[in-house]
Amino acid sequence: MTFKTSFLAILLGASLLAACNNDPLSDLSVEESQVFITNRNKTADFNQYKTFSIVDSVIVLGNRGTGTSLSDVDMQVLNRVVANMQQLGYRYVNPKDSPDLGINVAQIRNSYLNVVSQPMSPYLGNYWGGGFYGGGLGGWGYGYPSYYTYYQVNENYWYLEMVDFKNPDRANQKLNVVWSAEIRGAGLFDVQQVSNVIDSVFKQSAYLGSN
Amino acid sequence: MALVLFVSAQVLAQQGSNLYDLPSPYERYTHYLATARVTAAVPIGAFADNYIDRSSAQNYSLSLEWILRSNLSVGGEVGKNFFQQRLPRQMYQLGEQEVSAVQTRTLTQYPIQGFVNYHFAGSGAMVRPYVHLSAGGSFVDYTLYWGNLADQQQKFAFTYGVGAGTKVLFKRDGSVGMDLRVKYTQTPYNYDYITSGISALNGSIGLFYRWW
């Protein structure tokens, strides 16, 4: 092989290796990462409701315990929900004044602990593969003592729901949820972002509104 | 003296031409040929219509083949294909739910195939066009990101392809050359947005090295 062909072969090999690691989300912006999921009771007529009220603090749910929270972001979220509802024509009333709709705002916080048993496949983390063994496709693995590695995944997202107080199901002693929204992604707890985040779920629910 | 010189010159000339006409070892023996390819792939059919229609240049493969003394060669090829497409934010209806998200659609394939090539010129030719038939398996990774949430499915699926190409030597009887190939590939795989397999038209440029 001449120098030129060896060089070309190495170049091809290197691009082959580089191709092994695709990160499709590397250029995803914070806004693009956000997912807004809404759900409604299709039989509900949102025009029938005139008044609403909202919880006085954000409910925290999840496998790390439950409780309430009223941080700056939480307060901003509650105020933004109220503002959106008022814009849709609903009147904000005290919870004691029997509102037609009640709004729950929750933060879901879950942690999951996962166990990976070693060895990790060197094909997953092939950082050393290339330079160490020429072409990188050679069958070098890692020598491990037998042990386990733990990693923790946290998820934290918003959940909103609208409860129908106007038409309670008296027979079954049930209050029906007529609308719910789940907001996932990055930047959800950022004071700068959170107002837009809340606006989004109302904007995509065009059926809401009272006149 | 003059006659002797004349005769020996003629003999030398004859020997020279005999050497030149001798077939190269590549023509006389079965030999090996390794090719590294970079491929541009265009999704076609339902795969393009329903999932990803963006072309991809992030496809690579390595093949090793045995060039037989007939016009045939047989070999194996491993590779990696990667398709990706980002869709702007839009609303999706998932059952009862309305979901507003930016979708990043990806499909990664690691095909492992055996192939047969039939060549239209002898192995000594500078330009050697061929037709190509391949079949094997493919490790398929379907990952659809909704925002930064992933829906993933991985499966090993049957894969096959037909193509045509040509090998071009850089110099006569040399061991290095270029390989150009156009190939249609199909992997019967159905999941979510993919309803009738992964089909693509691939154009590749490769560099080969042959030895015996």
Contacts of A39 in chain B (CB under 8 A): 96-98
For position B164, what pLDDT does the model report?
98
Sign (positive or negative) of CA dihedral B44, B82, B144, A35? negative
Residues 149-188 of B with CB under 8 A from A: 149, 175-176
Amino acid identity, residue B23?
Answer: P
Q: Which of B25, B40, B17, B41 is nearest to B175 (CA)?
A: B25
pLDDT digits (tens, 9 = 90+) for A71-120: 999 999 999 999 999 999 999 999 999 999 999 999 999 888 877 665 55
B120 CB neighbour count, 10 Å cutoff: 13
What pairs with residue A5 in β-bridges? Answer: none
pLDDT digits (tens, 9 = 90+) for A169-195: 888 888 899 999 999 999 999 999 899
Q: Which residue of B has its CA nearest to A15?
A: B60
**Cα-Cα end-to-end distance for chain A:** 81
Size of interface A-B (CB pairs under 8 A): 85
For position A28, what pLDDT does the model report?
93
pLDDT digits (tens, 9 = 90+) for A32-41: 999 999 999 9
Contacts of residue A96, Cβ cutoff 8 Å, sequence gap at least 6? none
Question: What does the alpha-carbon distance between residue A128 and residue A108 come to, in Å, rounded to a whole number?
Answer: 39
* More confident position, B17 or A151: A151
Domains of chain A: 35-118+141-203 (3.30.160.670)
Question: What does the alpha-carbon distance between residue A13 and residue A25 come to, in Å, rounded to a whole number?
Answer: 25
State mean pLDDT over A133-162: 70
Whether chain A has a CB inside 8 Å of the CB on B97: the answer is yes
| Under-50 pLDDT residues of chain B | 1
For position A134, what pLDDT does the model report?
47
Look at residue A132 and tell me whether its pLDDT is greater than 50: no
In CATH, B25-211 is 2.40.160.20: yes
Contacts of B34 in chain A (CB under 8 A): none
Whether chain B has a CB inside 8 Å of the CB on A19: the answer is yes
